[in-house]
Amino acid sequence: MSSSSSSHEDERRAEEFSNLVQEFNQIVQDIGDPDEEPRRRRQSVAKKAYIRPDHEADALRLHADYFDENPVYPDNIFRRQFRMRRALFLRIVNAVTSDPYFQQRTDALGRPGFTPLQKCTVAVRMLANGGAADQYDEYLRIAESISLECLRRFCRAIINLFGAKYLRKPTSVDCQRLLAMHEAKHSFPGMLGSLDCMH
């Protein structure tokens, strides 16, 4: 009797061992070959959608909308969108192209990159309207990271180019002129820097 119970016990252990071997083989099969693991892992992750940008077409559309002889959007809409006159904006664009970042370059495949007009447009529109960095991706096809870089470089370029003349504290002559302009327009004296009189 003891021999039959020990043989029964051996059969049970052999069956358990066989089951463990099958489970192990299934796990190894699921994992796959170590050389194939990175490929399988990449396939299981959802891929980002890549939309091939056409910077030339986007630049042409921007030019047709705002900078042609007969633009789609007239001067009043340009001024509302950019918070400045078109001539001033073009003067700024021409000035910042001295910075190599704002010059148009080609990528590794020989495709043209963003024009200075596109880079300055995204920076000025972000400053003028307080928009988010990814807000202009649909219209200008400029990604959030590039928009932020354009904004940083644009601000640095403006400070370097115009800081000494326009970004300085007002002199007493400037203050008197501003106060006189305010009084002429509103018929009461203004107070520079007063929060009560800003509106």
Tell me how far the alpha carbon of residue 55 is from its chain's centroid: 15
Distance, in Å, from the CA atom of 28 to the CA atom of 13, rounded to the nearest integer, reads 22
- Residue 124 tokens read as 């000025």
pTM equals: 0.61
Q: What is the pLDDT of residue 153?
A: 92
Distance, in Å, from the CA atom of 71 to the CA atom of 77, rounded to the nearest integer, reads 11
User: 14-23 pLDDT, tens per residue?
Assistant: 788 777 777 7
* Percent of the chain topping pLDDT 90: 21
Q: What is the pLDDT of residue 199?
A: 47
Q: Which residue would you say has higher pLDDT here, 25 or 89?
A: 89
Residue among 63, 48, 61 nearest 138 (CA): 61
Spell out a b/e string for 17-26, using b for 16 or more CB atoms within 10 Å of the CB, else e. Answer: eeeeeeeeee
Which residue is it, tokens 């001539």? 87
DSSP H helices in 73-115:
75-82, 86-96
